[in-house]
């Protein structure tokens, strides 16, 4: 379908441009706001891949949770406590090594994947039922362990935040 | 509606994508105009005043106000962050309006009946927090920043009891699709989820828990729309007007527009979840009351009644303090909803 192609290119453009702003902006709040557009258009890709549950989880967790936390952190440190925020390059060589390895891995994945077109691109089936059965059936133990780890992190951060 | 339009338009079905949101947008605009007027008239009635009664007997007061706001010069503060300042009102309104995509007005009119409709609604309306934070920060004003911080903390906190109380209905219905939740409540007023939903006689046991769940959903969404008694983000006596202090003209109107749209959106979700959505309260006794036009009538009637209660509370209750607000959410509402979720789970297993 033609419209889907146009929507894909639109999302791709928004993702790339806003990701560049995230990296190169001197103002850290501009970076955070650009990250909003990056994350949102990535969730658009998930919709086009028919992973509806992952798309919405991306919005709820990354934008509604993590990005709000990032913006909160920036604003509280910058404007309320008056601490100065710096955006400059630190640890040049280690970061080049790490990003180089990650880029290599992504390129390897791109080249080694067998890019078959989706067999039934308009299947109306929702993914949530299967995800639910998998999470609370086959993968119950990893799911529960992950939630216990999150609970421990929650209690730990509450402990640190308490006044001594 | 979308399927009908695509069958009508054939090859030009791209147009359908642009037509489907139009009725919702028109409804939101007209609703805002009259809700502002209703708010003033209701507040006047409750405080023993007249309210607006000059411009066309008062009915055209908000139309005149709108005309004034459109003509007004848009002033942006010299220290404001230009781009973000311009962007914020649109993010707030867009995120609220995107929520309307899954609200079922009737069997024939729902933007899209997603399998994950309710999840989509909560995810997409949570984006308005970003817009509010940007507005508060970009204005470069201490009051707007404090207002934005208060608003964001409040919205993020009260999302938890709202989602948990909606979860009780999802557990009963076994689906997240808004249209299916409404269809599950067919057959009359006794089958609405506020009264325990359809089922055998044992559901009488569930009535107090589901009614409490409905009430908590109402309280939590009231806090998410930043309305009294939870309007500390704009507490005039403390921080002037909150995050939208520096905005003027149409940009300010957009925040207003977003607030009233969200009021109806949460009222619509409440009526969908607990009050049967577009179902007639008489069930199949009078079949003519189940035709699409009457469905829209019932849906709007329920939604507008809830909006009326929101306004009623605004003009009769004082404002909570910040610490009372957080205590209420984290120490009362969240534990109560967790217990209700547990009880509903037990009931569904042993039923």
Mean of the pLDDT values across residues B216-232? 84
Question: What is the per-residue burial (b if ≥16 Cβ within 10 Å, else e) of B50-70?
Answer: ebbeeeeebebbbeebbeebe
Residue of B331 and B228 predicted with greater confidence: B331
Task: Determine the pLDDT at residue B161.
Answer: 92
pLDDT tens, residue by residue, B174-186: 888 888 888 888 8
Residue span of the structural domain in which A134 resides: 126-164
> What's the half-sphere exposure (Cβ side, CA atoms, 13 Å) at B243?
29
Residue A57's CATH number: 1.20.120.1200
Which residues of chain A have a Cβ shorter than 8 Å from any chain B Cβ?
A: 3, 27, 29-30, 33, 36, 40, 52-53, 56-57, 59-60, 63-64, 67-68, 71-72, 75-76, 79-80, 126, 128
In angstroms, the CA B277 to CA B194 distance is 12
Q: Which of B122, B127, B134 has the CB atom closest to A63's CB atom?
A: B127
- Residue B21, judged by CB atoms within 10 A of its CB (0-12, 13-18, 19+), counts as middle
**Residue A104 domain flag:** no
**Residue A100 domain flag:** no
pLDDT tens, residue by residue, B232-254: 777 666 767 777 777 877 888 88
**Residue A96 domain flag:** no
pLDDT band (50, 70, 90) for residue B47: confident
Share of chain B above pLDDT 70, in %: 95
pLDDT band (50, 70, 90) for residue A16: very high
In angstroms, the CA A78 to CA A27 distance is 11
Q: Which of A40, A59, A71 has the CB atom closest to B133's CB atom?
A: A71
Mean of the pLDDT values across residues A103-121? 80
Q: Give the list of residues 6+ apart from residue A79 with CB closer than 8 angstroms, or none.
A: B137, B145
Q: Are residues A133 and A82 in the same domain?
A: no
**Residue A116 domain flag:** no
- The number of distinct structural domains making up chain A is 2
Q: Are residues A66 and A140 in the same domain?
A: no
Task: Determine the pLDDT at residue B313.
Answer: 87
Q: How far is A58 from chain B (nearest CA, A)?
A: 9
pLDDT band (50, 70, 90) for residue A121: low
pLDDT tens, residue by residue, B92-112: 899 998 888 888 888 877 777
The answer to whether residue A102 scores a pLDDT higher than 80 is yes
Task: Determine the pLDDT at residue B341.
Answer: 92
pLDDT band (50, 70, 90) for residue A101: very high
Q: Are residues A79 and A147 in the same domain?
A: no
User: ipTM of this model?
Assistant: 0.81
């Amino acid at each position: 379908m033609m419209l889907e192609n146009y929507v894909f290119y639109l999302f791709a453009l928004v993702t790339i441009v806003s990701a560049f702003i995230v990296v190169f902006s001197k103002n850290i709040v501009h970076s955070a706001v650009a990250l909003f557009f990056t994350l949102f258009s990535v969730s658009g890709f998930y919709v086009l891949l028919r992973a509806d549950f992952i798309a919405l989880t991306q919005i709820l967790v990354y934008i509604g949770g993590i990005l709000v936390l990032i913006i909160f952190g920036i604003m509280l440190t910058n404007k309320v406590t008056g601490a100065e925020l710096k955006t400059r390059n630190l640890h040049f060589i280690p970061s080049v090594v790490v990003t180089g390895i990650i880029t290599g891995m992504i390129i390897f994945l791109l080249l080694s994947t067998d890019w078959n077109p989706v067999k039934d691109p308009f299947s109306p089936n929702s993914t949530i039922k299967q995800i639910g059965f998998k999470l609370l059936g086959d993968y119950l133990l990893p799911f529960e362990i992950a939630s216990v780890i999150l609970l421990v992190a929650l209690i730990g951060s509450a402990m640190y935040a308490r006044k001594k | 509606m979308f399927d009908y339009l695509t069958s009508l338009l054939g090859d030009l079905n791209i147009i359908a994508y642009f037509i489907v949101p139009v009725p919702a947008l028109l409804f939101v605009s007209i609703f805002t105009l009259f809700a502002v007027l209703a708010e003033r008239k209701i507040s006047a009635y409750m405080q023993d005043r007249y309210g607006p009664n000059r411009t066309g007997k008062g009915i055209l007061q908000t139309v005149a106000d709108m005309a004034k706001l459109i003509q007004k010069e848009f002033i942006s503060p010299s220290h404001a962050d230009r781009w973000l300042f311009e962007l914020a009102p649109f993010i707030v309104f867009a995120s609220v309006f995107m929520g309307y995509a899954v609200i079922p007005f009737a069997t024939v009119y729902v933007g899209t009946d997603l399998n994950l409709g309710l999840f989509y609604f909560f995810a997409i309306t949570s984006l308005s927090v970003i817009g509010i934070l940007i507005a508060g920060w970009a204005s470069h004003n201490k009051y707007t920043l404090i207002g934005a911080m208060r608003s964001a903390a409040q919205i993020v906190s009260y999302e938890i009891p709202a989602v948990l109380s909606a979860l009780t209905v999802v557990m009963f219905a076994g689906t997240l699709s808004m249209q299916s939740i409404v269809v599950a409540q067919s057959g009359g007023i006794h089958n609405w989820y506020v009264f325990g939903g359809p089922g055998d006689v044992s559901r009488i046991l569930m009535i107090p828990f589901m009614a409490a769940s409905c009430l908590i959903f109402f309280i939590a969404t009231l806090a998410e729309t930043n309305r009294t008694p939870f309007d500390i983000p704009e507490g005039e006596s403390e921080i002037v007007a909150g995050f939208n202090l520096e905005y003027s003209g149409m940009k300010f109107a957009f925040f207003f527009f977003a607030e009233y749209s969200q009021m109806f959106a949460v009222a619509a979700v409440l009526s969908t979840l607990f009050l049967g959505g577009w179902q007639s309260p008489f069930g199949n006794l009078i079949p003519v009351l189940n035709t699409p036009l009457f469905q829209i009538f019932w849906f709007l009637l329920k939604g507008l009644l809830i909006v009326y209660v929101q306004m009623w509370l605004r003009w009769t209750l004082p404002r909570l303090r910040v610490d009372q607000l957080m205590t209420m959410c984290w120490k009362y509402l969240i534990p109560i909803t967790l217990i209700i979720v547990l009880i509903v789970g037990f009931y569904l297993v042993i039923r």
